[in-house]
């Protein structure tokens, strides 16, 4: 059974197709030690894909020391300039925040979050996103996520160290993974296909263009309509096929008004 699930990859490490579909994305990290500790936290839970968005530090000796042997994760790290780039291929994006309900957004409990990852990671790429040590994730970054997750810590002292937040949420993913392996928790055989982040972004641009073409949105005073629509479509999680229908309607409107 284990042989079927694990195989040696080209880099010589054991690969696990399900857990390898989970990316841990750290945005704007400023302490290299936290990157090393996050790598260690991931590796003990069987996660391997680390992505750094616009890091404010180098992967230096401190990072290597704190990774305590999880240097393979640091060696294979991807570094990108913005969050959209990190998550463009992902069909599930969850942003973690110490502040629950800063925005009205679908929330997951850490335990549900673990299960959601295992459901999606069996078929597609997913991302768990962490914010900056001092300021967390911006509202714009949080709004690109499908769900938010908050570790229900002491309300008077609720902010975990970045790597410890990575540890806690990676542990929940591992627990869901082990339950799935034991057959206690089944991922549906017919997993629905959800659009990747970049496909949703193309839809939002298309929707905005058509809303402007038909003068529903005023170019000079666009207001918050697009924000509200983004929230609506993020909340309702259209499937790939449903999104294609919506794109088709927009294209038909464009043809009619041409």
Q: Which is nearer to ligand SAH, 169 or 207 (CB)?
A: 169
Question: 198 and 69 in contact (C-beta within 8 Å)?
Answer: no
Q: Which is nearer to ligand SAH, 28 or 46 (CB)?
A: 28
The C-alpha angle with vertex 186 and arms to 89 and 180, in degrees rounded to 5, equals: 80
Q: Which is nearer to ligand SAH, 30 or 240 (CB)?
A: 30
Dihedral, CA of residue 36, residue 19, residue 12 and residue 39, to nearest 10? 0
Strands (E), 139-227: 147-149
The two three-digit tokens of residue 112, written as one number: 């549900």
Question: 19 and 177 in contact (C-beta within 8 Å)?
Answer: yes
Least separation in angstroms between residue 152's CB and ligand SAH is: 7
- Rounded (to 5) percent helix, strand, coil in the chain: 45, 15, 40
Question: 86 and 51 in contact (C-beta within 8 Å)?
Answer: yes
Least separation in angstroms between residue 178's CB and ligand SAH is: 22
Q: Which is nearer to ligand SAH, 19 or 169 (CB)?
A: 169
Least separation in angstroms between residue 78's CB and ligand SAH is: 18
Least separation in angstroms between residue 241's CB and ligand SAH is: 33
Q: Which is nearer to ligand SAH, 160 or 250 (CB)?
A: 160
Signed CA dihedral, 42, 161, 117, 237: sign only: negative
Q: Which is nearer to ligand SAH, 119 or 172 (CB)?
A: 172
Q: Is 249 helix (H, G, I), strand (E, B) or coil?
A: helix
Q: Which is nearer to ligand SAH, 81 or 155 (CB)?
A: 155
DSSP class of residue 136 equals B
Question: 147 and 108 in contact (C-beta within 8 Å)?
Answer: yes
Least separation in angstroms between residue 109's CB and ligand SAH is: 11
CA–CA dist 219, 50 (Å, integer): 39
Q: Which residues bind ligand SAH (CB under 6 A)?
A: 96-99, 130-131, 133-137, 149-151, 153, 158-160, 162, 165
Least separation in angstroms between residue 73's CB and ligand SAH is: 18
Least separation in angstroms between residue 153's CB and ligand SAH is: 5
Measured in residues, the chain has a length of: 258
């Amino acid at each position: 059974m284990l042989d079927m699930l694990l195989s040696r990859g080209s880099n010589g490490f054991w690969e696990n197709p399900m857990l390898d579909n989970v990316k841990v994305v750290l945005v704007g990290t400023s302490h290299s030690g936290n990157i090393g500790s996050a790598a260690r936290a991931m590796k003990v839970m069987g996660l391997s894909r680390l992505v750094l968005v616009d890091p404010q530090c180098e992967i230096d000796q401190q990072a290597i020391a704190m990774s305590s042997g999880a240097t393979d994760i640091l060696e294979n790290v991807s570094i990108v300039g913005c969050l959209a780039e990190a998550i463009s291929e992902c069909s599930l994006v969850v942003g973690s925040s110490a502040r629950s309900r800063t925005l009205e957004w679908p929330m997951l409990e850490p335990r549900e979050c673990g299960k959601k990852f295992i459901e999606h990671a069996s078929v597609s790429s997913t991302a768990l996103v962490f914010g900056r040590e001092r300021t967390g994730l911006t509202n714009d970054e949080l709004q690109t996520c499908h769900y938010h997750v908050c570790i229900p810590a002491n309300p008077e002292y609720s902010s975990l160290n970045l790597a410890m937040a990575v540890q806690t949420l990676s542990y929940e993913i591992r627990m869901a993974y082990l339950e799935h392996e034991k057959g206690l928790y089944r991922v549906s055989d017919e997993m629905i296909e959800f659009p990747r982040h970049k496909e949703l972004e193309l839809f939002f641009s298309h929707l905005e263009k058509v809303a402007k073409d038909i003068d529903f949105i005023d170019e000079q005073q666009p207001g918050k309509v697009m924000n509200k629509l983004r929230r609506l479509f993020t909340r309702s999680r259209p499937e790939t096929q449903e999104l294609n229908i919506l794109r088709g309607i927009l294209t038909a409107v464009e043809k009619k008004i041409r």
